[in-house]
Amino acid sequence: MPFSEERKRYLELLAEQFPSIRAASTEIINLSAILELPKGTEHFISDIHGEYEPFLHVLKNGSGSIKRKIEEIFQDTMLDQEKRNLATLIYYPEKKIPLILQKVDNPAEWYRVTLFHLIKLCRVISSKYTRNKVRKALPPDFAYIIEELLHEQEGQTNRQEYYSSIIDSIIETGRSEAFITEMARLIQRLAIAHLHVIGDVYDRGPGAHIIMDKLLEYHSVDFQWGNHDVVWMGAAAGSDACIANVIRVSLRYANMETLENGYAISMLPLVSLAMDVYGDDPCEQFRPKASGTSHTENELQLMAQMHKAITIIQLKLEAQIIDRRPQFQMQNRRLLDRINLEEGTINIDGTTYPLIDTQFPTLDPDNPFQLTDQERSLMNKLRLSFTNSERLQEHTRFLYSKGSMYLTYNGNLLYHGCIPMTPHGKLRSFNFDGVNHSPREFMDRLERLARQGYFETGNPEKRQYGRDTIWYLWSGAQSPLFGKSKMATFERYFIEDPATHKEEMNPYYDFRTDEKVVSRILEEFGLDPDSGHVINGHVPVKVKKGESPLKAGGKLLVIDGGFAKAYQSQTGIAGYTLIFNSYGLLLAAHHSFQSTQKAIEEARDIHSETEILEQNRKRIRVCDTDHGIEMQQRIDDLKDLLKAFRSGIVKED
C-alpha cells in the first residue's frame, strides 16, 4: 500500500534516527519485549500540607511496598525484628548502619549477610524493568558492580566464587557502608516507578519547602494543583492578593517556617506596619490558631497584629480584583464597603450583623478598597521578596512544568478538588465570549490563564488577567480547586454568628457517590467508565465518623485522610495513600508518624492498614498502559519504515 506524501516525509525523518533495516528491526524487537514486562508501580499521595516527616517516610517505604516485598521474600528465613531492621536500614541507611554496628560483634559478617539480603531484594524489585532502565538508575561509583550482582546467578557452581569474591572485596576495601547506602537508595527508587501528587503540599505544616525540594529530585513525578499550591504559585507570579493570602494563612497557623526560613522572605516590613498601625489594638480575633508552646506572649501578640494588618490588605486587594473582573461573578464578596463604621455593623444580603472587631484605622469610608500609602509600600516590598526568591521560583517552575489542573493516566482521572456541577447533579457548562465550555474545556481554559499569569512577559494586561485567574482558582465560587460557594474570611474574623461562616460545598460533593455521575465525569475526560477511576483529594475523609474513601461503588477514591495534623482530629487517621501496581489497586490508611528519630532507633515504621481494592486475574503489563499504547504506535511506525526501506520508498543508509 503506497504511503501518502505526509507519511513518507515522517518516515524519512524517522530514518534519520533508525537509518537501516537492522537498526529499525532491533528497536522493534526491544520495544516489543518491553511491552510484555509488568507495569511499574504508581504511588498516589495527596494533601500533605507541609508535614514533611511523614511524607518523606511514606516516600521511602513506598506506602509499605518495600516492607511487603521483604515479607514475601524473607518470610521463612528472617525473624520479624530482623525484617523490621532491614526495612529501616533501607529507609535510613546512613543513620541506621552506625546504630546496628554498635550491637554487632562481627561487622564483616553482618556486612556480608546484609549485602546478600539487599541484592536478593533488589533483584526481585528490579525484575519488572529492562536492564537499560535499571542501568540508568545505578549510582555511578558502583554501577558496574551492582549490575554484575543483580544479574549474577550465584547458584551456579562455576560462578559462586566470582560472586562471593565481589562481596568480599567490597568489605575488605572498606566500602561496605557506602555500598549498602547506595543499594538502599536504589531499592527505594525501583520500588516506585511513578509518583502522583494530588495537590496541596503547602500551608498548615512547617516543611512545604522541604517537600518541594524532594519532589524536584524525584525520578518520575506529576502534580495536580491544589488550591493551597496555586495561591503560592500566584504569590510567586507577583499577585498581591495571593501574596496577602499566603502570609495571612501562615500567620493564622503560626507557621512562618516556609516563608522566612524556606524562601527567605522577610516579614520586617509587615512587622513595622503592624506595630505602627495596630500597636494599641489587642487583635483578639487574630491570635494564631495553633501557637504551640514555642512562642512568647509578646510574639503571639505581634503575630496577631501582623495577621490583622495583612487580612485588611487582602480584603481590599480582593475587592479590586472583583471590580475589574465582573466575569468572576463574585460581587457578593466585596464586603468592606458594607461596613457602618459609626454603628460597628455590616449588612450582608439584607441582614445587619454586629462586628466583633470595629477598629479599622486604614479604612477610608469614601474609598474602602484603596490601600493607604503605607500599605501600598508594604506590598511593593513583599512583591519583590516573593518574585526574587530563587528557591520559591524554582519550586513554582516545577509546579508549572510537572503540574496541571487534572491528568488522565493509565485509565484514571486525577484532580484535586471537584468538577463543578449544578444543584441537579449535571456537569456544569460555562459560557465565555459567546462560546460554551464543557467542564474539561473550562479547566483547560483556567490552566492556560494560570500559565499566562506566570509566563506572559509581553502584554501586562494578559499577565494581570492570568494572575487574577490564579487568585480565582484559590477562592472563586466555581473554581474546580476550591469547590465552595465562598471563602468566608471576613465572616470568620469579624462576625460572631456561625451561620455566616458556613461555606457551602459545590453540589459535586453530594453527587460524587452516584456511579452514574462519576461515569459521566470519566466520559467527559475521554476515559472508560467501566474500568476507570477518579482519584480525588481536597476534603478529608472523616473515618472516625464512618465515612469511606471509596465512593460511587469504588469508581471514585478520595485519598485525603489527614496528613496534616490540623485535620487528624477530624479524620481519625494520619493520611491515605494509593498504590496501583501490576496486580491491582491497594489503599493504605496510615496511623500517626511519631518521628524520624524513633523510626530509626526503634525500627518503627508507620503503622498502615492496607486494603486491596481491585485485584486483576491477569497481571497488568506495559502494553496495557498509556506508555505501552505510545510504544505500540512507535512499533507500527517502525514497521512501516521497514516496508519503506524494503520497497525502496525510503533510502537505507
Mean pLDDT, rounded, of the chain = 90
H helix runs in 388-481, sequence order: 390-402, 439-455, 460-475
Higher local confidence (pLDDT), 629 or 608: 629
C-alpha cell at 474: 484559590
> pLDDT tens across 101-127, in order?
988 889 999 999 999 999 999 999 998
Residue 131, pLDDT > 70, answer yes
Q: Which residues contact 484 (CB under 8 A, 6 or more apart)?
A: 477, 503, 504, 505, 506
Higher local confidence (pLDDT), 588 or 383: 383
Q: CA–CA separation, 637 vs 118, rounded Å?
A: 41
SS3 463: helix
Whole-Å CA distances, 558 to 45, 46, 549: 10, 9, 5
Residue 292, pLDDT > 60, answer no
Q: CA–CA separation, 171 vs 287, rounded Å?
A: 58
pLDDT of residue 150: 85
> pLDDT tens across 527-542, in order?
999 999 999 988 877 7
Across residues 589-599, what is the average pLDDT? 68
Higher local confidence (pLDDT), 104 or 194: 194
pLDDT of residue 163: 80
Q: CA–CA separation, 505 vs 214, rounded Å?
A: 33
Residue 602, pLDDT > 90, answer no
> pLDDT tens across 164-173, in order?
888 889 999 9
SS3 586: strand
C-alpha cell at 197: 501528587
Residue 611, pLDDT > 90, answer no
Across residues 333-361, what is the average pLDDT? 94
pLDDT of residue 289: 81
Across residues 232-243, what is the average pLDDT? 98
> pLDDT tens across 423-450, in order?
999 999 898 777 889 999 999 999 999 9
C-alpha cell at 594: 511519631
- pLDDT band at 184, cuts 50/70/90? very high
Residue 225, pLDDT > 90, answer yes
Residue 569, pLDDT > 80, answer no
- pLDDT band at 606, cuts 50/70/90? low
- C-alpha R_g of the chain: 28
Residue 329, pLDDT > 60, answer yes
> pLDDT tens across 254-277, in order?
889 999 999 999 999 999 999 999
Residue 192 in contact with residue 127, Cβ under 8 Å? no
Phi and psi at 238, nearest 5°, equal 100, 15
Q: CA–CA separation, 398 vs 403, rounded Å?
A: 7
pLDDT of residue 608: 60
Q: CA–CA separation, 354 vs 371, rounded Å?
A: 24
pLDDT of residue 604: 62
> pLDDT tens across 394-410, in order?
999 999 999 999 999 99
What is the separation, in whole angstroms, between the first and last Cα of the chain? Answer: 23
Map grid coordinates 477610608 to a residue: 364
Across residues 75-94, what is the average pLDDT? 90
Residue 605 in contact with residue 61, Cβ under 8 Å? yes
Task: Compute the half-sphere exposure of residue 282: CA atoms within 13 Å on the CB side of its CA.
Answer: 5
pLDDT of residue 149: 85
Residue 59, pLDDT > 60, answer yes
Q: Which range among 68-82, 506-520, 636-650 shows the weakest confidence by mean pLDDT?
A: 68-82
SS3 536: strand
pLDDT of residue 571: 63
pLDDT of residue 293: 56
Higher local confidence (pLDDT), 282 or 158: 282
Q: Which residues contact 647 (CB under 8 A, 6 or more apart)?
A: none
